[in-house]
Each structure stands twice: as structure tokens, then as C-alpha cells.
Structure 1
Amino acid sequence: MMSLILFFFSLPIILILYFQTQKPKLTPPGPPGLPLIGNFHQIDGQFQYKYFQRLSKQYGPVMLLKLGIRRLIVISSAEAVKEITKSNDAVFSRRPSVVAAKRLTYNHLDIGFSYNDTWREMRKISNLHLFSAKQVQSFHPILRDEVSKMVEKIARDASSSTVVNFSDTSMSLLTNILSRIAFGKICEKDRFKDLLDETQHVLGGFFVEDYLPWLRWIDRLSGMAAKLDKNFHNLDFFYQELIEEHMNPNRPKSMDGDFIDIMLRIKENGSSSFAPTINHIKGVLMDLVTGGSDTAAIALEWTMTALMEKPLVMKKLQEEIRRLGGKKDMINKQDIEQLSYLRAVVKESLRMYPPAPLLLPRETTNKCSVNGYEIEGGSMVYINAWAIGRDPATWENADEFMPERFLEDGQIPELITFGFGRRGCPGMGMAIAELELALANLVYRFNWELPKKEDIDFECSPGATMHKKNALRLIAKVVI
């Protein structure tokens, strides 16, 4: 009896001491929302990355928003990314399952939009067989050939003072490179562009089911479900056509050793620990269609835009390349290894103009801590590459195009344009090689100027990728 009395008397003291030793849960700050819909009514659907950047100035680099049933964490600082990479890379490596990506990747059988046991195996195939250093090197003749064709076409336009639509030129170049590397042939330009535009519209579109699943019927009324269904069938027909061409014993020689050929050989002869199915191959093709040409073309377009606004940077770049190139016809891969300012220009462009300003969303696998804030498991995470690249706390004169910053000694944050950690893009090496080779030869062979009565603008089109709103139009003057 005495023990029971002592217990009841001591219980309040025990409880007080217990709660005093427990650290309170610190939830990331964010704008207040409404019941059920959360912050939906506040989101800028056209330029989300700029909206999130403005919010981060008020709420900080780790923010919490509510979008229906989803918790959305927005990361807007290099320090937070560094902490994630160092301490929570595995926790932040999952992808959220969303309606459009799930359908277009054959229920997450790809690399970019999935995170499961299949993803791990497909990632190995990608790293060992598709985007290894040796494989990227083997594709260099294709890069060189396509860049040479582009340069010769521009030279013909220059001889007649024809205005070059640089936006179209960039897209054609990168689409041709992707087509030859992945499909073994150059696809019909209009058909490929229509597929790409349709797919980007669907992937960047709003599906109510992703946030308010009990209202999924709205997607049928709005037409989004029908658009997704049409896009899936158009893509599937395109993939199947390519695969059947590759399985034809009388196929063109150019298809030997391309991405589809490599994956079909792995499927047939078991040269990997995992044998992909036809749907796995189609899932990877979806990744290539959506990210293989468009992002690199956007990066090239913005780099030239920045150089046209900064003539002194352009002059310095041309002097470096022309000093090395002398009078030879073309800058090659070996030359580029010696062009430190060229590589700095490319990095600076990717810092200021990331082709995908919000990286593909991630999802936390379980509870963790970032910047002292507790992040719940199952939270959707946006990494705002646009805001991180322009963060004045990280970059001196953050809004100035200054390639020299990448030549100086000191701690320069890692660029996250192509993702980071386990979610780094396996095709990054290929994309950088394309950018450097194309840019080097464009500024080596030509001087560039704007057409009369036209000026440089930096307006963007809305969407998940950062296309210029107005095409970049330039006049080329042959120098070499």
C-alpha cells in the first residue's frame, strides 16, 4: 500500500522530468493553408520555382506546404542539399508515385521516375552498359559528326546572311544525337517533337488524383485522363516500332551498339545479373525521350543567350578556343580538356539557367532531420535548383553571369543541375560532352550578332523545363 502511495506522489515529478528532457518536434515553417486542399490556392502553376524562391525568403530554405493529402518539403539552399547528401541520401532517394509517371513508365520500370529493387538493377545496367565512360567515348564520333553538320549548315546560312534560329538549331542537334545513340537512326523531326511536347505536357500536367484521390473522377471530366491514355499509346507504338526494327535481322548497320541494341542483347544473353523485359526497355526509352535531348538543348540555348548579353565573356571564350584551335576545321574532345574557361562558362550557365529548375520530386522513405527540422517519412520533396543556383548566401553576385567564379580557388558548391547522390542523372557525362563540344565549335567558327532591331530577352515559357519564351535569333559570321 505504501509503495502505491509513493508511486502516485512521485508520478507528477517523473512526468515533468520526462517532458523536460524531450526535445520538441520542430516542423519546417511554411504558409498557412486551408482545410483539405492545403496550399493549392496559393501555388503559381506556371513558374513554381520562382514562387518557391520568393516563399523561401520569408520562411527559409526548408519549407513545408500541404497539397491535399501530401506534405511537400521545398529545399532552397546548398547547405541543406549538402546535409541531405551527407546524412540522408538514402532517405531522400525514393520517387513519389504519381499518376502520369506511373503509367508512362509501365508501373515504374524505368530509371528516372522509380525507386525499387527493379530501379537498382536498371541503374546498374545504365551505369555499366549505357552511360559508362567507355560507352560515352564510343559515341563521340556521332557527336562530332552531328556538330560538324550543324556548323556546316550555319556556315551556308552565314554566306547568305540568313538569320539562324538558334533555338531550333540546338533542338535539332541534340535530337539527332539522341536518336542516333539510342535508336540507331535519325527520327522524323516533327514526329519526335510532337511526342516530346505531348509527353512534357502530360508529365507536367495537374492530376487531381495525385493529391485528392477521392476526387480522381475530376481527371476524367477535365480530359487529363484521356490525354494521358493517348500519350501512353502514342509512345508505346513508337517504342514498339523501334524495338521491332532492331529485332529485324536485316536492320541497318547503324543500329548495332545503340541503346536499344545493348538492352536487347542483355535481355537475350543474360550479360547482366538482371534480365530486363520489353517493358523495362520501353521504360528506359521514356526516360530518354523526356530527358535525353530537351534538357541539353535548353542548356545550349541559354548559354548562348548569356554569352550574347556578355560580349566580354564571349570574347574571352573565343580567344581561349581560337588560340588553341589555330586554323583547324574543328575543335575535338582532346582540345576541350584544355579549355578551362569553356568548362567554366558551361558550369555558370547551368548554375543560372538549370533546364529543369525544380528537380524531379523525391519522397522520403522515413523520418529524418534537415537543418534542425523534422521531415516526416512519405513527404514529397522539391529541390529548387533555380533558387539554389541564385542563393546570395552561397554565390557572390549571384545574379551575375561570371564564369570566373569556377576558376578561382576555394569551396565552390557542387552543381545539382543533373541531380545529386543516388539520384544523380546517369547521363550527365554525355550531356556535358554534348554541350562542351557544340558550344566550343559554335564560338570557334563564328562571330555572332543580333538581327537589327532585335534584343536579347530572358523570358521563360511556363512548364517543368525552362524553355525560352521567344526563340533566340542570331546572325553568324564565318571566322574560321
Structure 2
Amino acid sequence: MKTHDLNFCYRPQFGSSNDFLYKGSYFITAPYGPYWRFMKKLCVTKLLSSSQLSRFMHIREQELENLLKYLVIFSNENKSTDLCLDLTTYTNNILCLMTMGTTIFDKDIIRCLVREFMHVGAKLSMGEVFGPLGKLDLFGYGKKLRKIVGEFDKILESFLKEHEERINNEDREGDMMDILLEVYRNPNAEVRLTRNDIKAFFLDILLAGTDTSSVAMQWAMAEIINNPIILNKLRAEIESVVGPTRLIRESDVPKMPYLQACVKEVLRLHPPAPFALRQSSDQDCKINGYDVKAHTRTLINVYAIMRDPKSWVNPEEYIPERFLVSGDEINGGDDYEDVNKMDGGDDFRYIPFGFGRRGCPGSSLALRVIHVTIGALIQCFEWKINGGDKVNMEEGSSFSVGLAKPLVCYPVTCFNPFENCL
């Protein structure tokens, strides 16, 4: 992760290349080279920069209000709702609006595109155990994947054309698609992007951002609901910082160390990507006395690292307080001094967003969304579990290991920030 980061900053391709409509264009699995470095620079300086995220804060605020209003209706009618589906719709809407200026998917297409892509992609990857036979698509997963991406391609192409037709509209606020189209049209760009490069990037960001952020929030709600003491402590912090008359905002989060600790602990126990996939470069290397051949595929067990009893006291337990200590200790205590202690850097005990050059470029956006959403859901509602007192914490499958069972809850309004507006 540190000494050999450069040698292992490649990502392997799984399955037959014929299964990938945008062959050679995917940013997430692109080889470490000019194209990947150029796209990473675009993410850091333009697409996912701090200034760009701040420009679209109003989108995140509006979608959060829409989610809360939706839940208030269910509360008033004493109906249960599936938070897994609600949060997936919510994160998808945010990403679509920030990237393309529109919400293009309804709930059925979200399930088809995001969940089916993750499920089928994982099955296709497992086909590698059959060696050369894995290229034959014996179970039809490659065919299913091509169909899903083909449907997405048609939608994306239509939005690319719409953006190109509105390119001279000065009153329109530019989104990520506008930025990439500007690079696409620039003959002097450091790397000339193709149309497939743009579409592949949006497929990457929607799949990576929708499912992972949604799953993280589902786990956060499940852990907090199952721990009433933590829930009450978190609600007390929100009330002390925000007060009883307004909704939590992103600008409040830096003043809420316990909320940040709750999210950190969720990401430790339930990382959005439990395995980091790497492949060594075309040079052999030696690690701790072991010879590693060129092009060796490597899976780093992020899940196990962040539950390692050598690094964490009671690693299987949800204990946000472990991130609220001072000094070098990370496993207990009551001091609220250094909640940001393990945000990246060289501390490889905590790597929920990956590490090194191939670390997640969207982590800042994910944390902005997760923090304020969890804060709002706890601030505005009590949560009653459908069919019991505790959330079923059984883990599911797929690339992002979410809850095996839907998170079906009854929201009970305890603070309605829209009461005077209705």
C-alpha cells in the first residue's frame, strides 16, 4: 500500500473484454498511464473539486428536503418504507443532477442498472475461477451485463446530445457533463477524450457513487437504530449545535465530532468496497521476501484489515467513541479532541476509501452526503423496525456488501422542518 503503491496501482480486468461496451474507456479500471492520470487530475481539479462540490450544495440540500418530505408523508399515514430503496433513489438523484443536470432514473431502473450491474459484475468476476472457460460466458452473465450497459448507453447518448444543443446557453449552470464535453471539443487537450470515454466515466461514477454511498447510509442507520444510547447521544449533539428550529446543514458537520465518529465507525465495520483489487505492473518485485511476478492479481482484504483485533479493541462492535480520543490511542476513551485523526494518510488500519493513487476520488462528496443525511434522519424521525425491535444485520453479497434484508422502518416524526411551510 505504501512502499509498493506505484507497482500495484493497476486494476485487473475481469471477464471477457467483449462484455464491456466501453472497452478501454473505463476510468476505474483503466491502466495506470496518461489517460488515467488525466482523468484523475480532472476529478481533483474540476469534476470533484471542493469548489465544484460547493457549487452544487443547493442540489444536495433540495434532494435531502425531498427525501424528508417523502418520509414525513409516510409518518403521517403511519406507513412503513424501505430505507434501502429510498436512499438509493436519493443518492442516484443527487449524482444525476450534479453530473448531468437531471434525474433520469425511476426506482425500477435504479434497481435494474445499479443493483443488477453490481450483482452480475460480481458473478462475472467469479467466473475467473474457471480459467479459460470463464471467457465463454457459460452462465450468461456477460450477456446480461451487455444488455444493462446498452440500455444505459442509449440514455446517456440522448443527454449528451441535449447538452451539446444547449452549449451556448449562458444562463445555464454547467455540470460535469458540460466540463467533459468542453475537454472533448478542445483540440489542444492533454488527452483527447472520446464519446465512449465520457459515457464510461458517468457509468463509473453513477455505479460507484450510488450503491456505495447508499449502502453506507443503510448500515449507519441500522447500527444507530440498534444502539439506542448512541442514537440519543447523536441526537443530543445535533440539537446542541443546530437547535430545535431548523434542519441540519453541511456547514454544521465540522462542529459535530460525534456524528463524524458514528460515520467513521460505520465505514470501518462496513467499508463500501470490502476488497481492493490491484494488479502488479509489468515488473517483477519482492515484498517481505516473497517474489511477486509481473501482472499478479491481488485482492487486499479491506474488511479484515479494519476488523483486525491486533489494531482494534472489540473490532466487531460498533463503538463510535474509538474515534474520539486524543494522542496515539484509537480504541477507547471519552475525549472529543481528534475526530479527524485517521482521515487517510499513512495509517493503513483505516482505509474505507482505498489508498494511494487508486484511492476513491469521490470520497469528499460521499462524506458530505452521508454526514448530513444521517444527521437529518436522526434529527427528524424516531425509527420503528417493521416486525421487531432490532434491524437484521445479516450481510448480503455483491461488490458493495449491503444488508441482506430490506431495511423496512416506520418513520415517526419528532421534528418537521417543513411544518410552517405546509
TM-score (norm 2): 0.86
Shift of 1:242: 2.0
Match of 1:42 in 2: none
Match of 2:263 in 1: 346
For residues 45-75 of structure 1, the C-alpha deviation after alignment (integer angstroms, 9 at most, x for no partner) is: xxxxxxxxxxxxxxxxxxxxxxxxxxxxxxx
**Unmatched runs of 5 consecutive residues or more in structure 2:** 331-346, 416-422
The residue type equivalent to 2:366 in the other structure is A
For residues 104-157 of structure 1, the C-alpha deviation after alignment (integer angstroms, 9 at most, x for no partner) is: 362232321112321111111121111111111112111111111111221222
1:476 and 2:399 aligned: no
Shift of 1:446: 1.8
Match of 1:441 in 2: 376
For residues 293-343 of structure 1, the C-alpha deviation after alignment (integer angstroms, 9 at most, x for no partner) is: 110000000000001111111111110011111123211121111001100
How far apart, in 2, do the equivalents of 1:470 and 1:245 lie? Answer: 39
**Unmatched runs of 5 consecutive residues or more in structure 1:** 1-83
How far apart, in 1, do the equivalents of 2:119 and 2:367 lie? Answer: 26
How far apart, in 2, do the equivalents of 1:334 and 1:455 lie? Answer: 32
How far apart, in 2, do the equivalents of 1:450 and 1:252 lie? Answer: 49
How far apart, in 1, do the equivalents of 2:355 and 2:48 lie? Answer: 16
Which structure's CA Rg is the greater one?
Answer: 1
1:363 and 2:279 aligned: yes
The residue type equivalent to 1:449 in the other structure is K
Shift of 1:232: 3.6
1:99 and 2:15 aligned: yes
The residue type equivalent to 1:341 in the other structure is Y
Secondary structure of the corresponding residue to residue 402 of structure 2: coil
TM-score (norm 1): 0.77
Change in CA separation of 1:216 and 1:336 when aligned onto 2, cut-off 3 Å: closer
The residue type equivalent to 2:374 in the other structure is L
The two structures, once aligned, show a CA RMSD in angstroms of 2.4
Comparing 429-438 and 328-337, the one that deviates more: 328-337
- State the identity as a percent: 28
Match of 2:29 in 1: 113
Aligned 8 A contact 2:394 2:404 in 1: yes
Shift of 1:227: 2.4
Secondary structure of the corresponding residue to residue 12 of structure 2: coil
Secondary structure of the corresponding residue to residue 447 of structure 1: strand
How far apart, in 2, do the equivalents of 1:228 and 1:198 lie? Answer: 8
Aligned 8 A contact 1:207 1:224 in 2: no
Match of 2:154 in 1: 237
Matching of residues 351-430 of structure 1 within 5 Å? 351-359=268-276, 361-365=277-281, 366-409=283-326, 410=328, 412=330, 413-414=347-348, 415-430=350-365
The residue type equivalent to 1:395 in the other structure is W
Change in CA separation of 1:113 and 1:104 when aligned onto 2, cut-off 3 Å: same
Change in CA separation of 1:248 and 1:193 when aligned onto 2, cut-off 3 Å: farther
How far apart, in 1, do the equivalents of 2:218 and 2:173 lie? Answer: 31
Secondary structure of the corresponding residue to residue 206 of structure 1: helix
For residues 417-437 of structure 1, the C-alpha deviation after alignment (integer angstroms, 9 at most, x for no partner) is: 211100111111000100001
How far apart, in 2, do the equivalents of 1:466 and 1:244 lie? Answer: 36
How many residue pairs are counted as aligned between the two chains? 394
Secondary structure of the corresponding residue to residue 383 of structure 1: strand
Shift of 1:256: 3.5
Match of 1:197 in 2: 115
Aligned 8 A contact 1:450 1:474 in 2: yes
Shift of 1:405: 0.7
Shift of 1:208: 8.2
Aligned 8 A contact 1:110 1:122 in 2: no
1:170 and 2:105 aligned: no
For residues 7-29 of structure 1, the C-alpha deviation after alignment (integer angstroms, 9 at most, x for no partner) is: xxxxxxxxxxxxxxxxxxxxxxx
Matching of residues 174-323 of structure 1 within 5 Å? 174-189=91-106, 190-206=108-124, 210=128, 214-215=132-133, 218-219=136-137, 221-249=138-166, 256-269=173-186, 272-323=189-240
Change in CA separation of 1:232 and 1:347 when aligned onto 2, cut-off 3 Å: same
Match of 1:43 in 2: none
How far apart, in 2, do the equivalents of 1:257 and 1:457 lie? Answer: 43
Shift of 1:252: 9.4
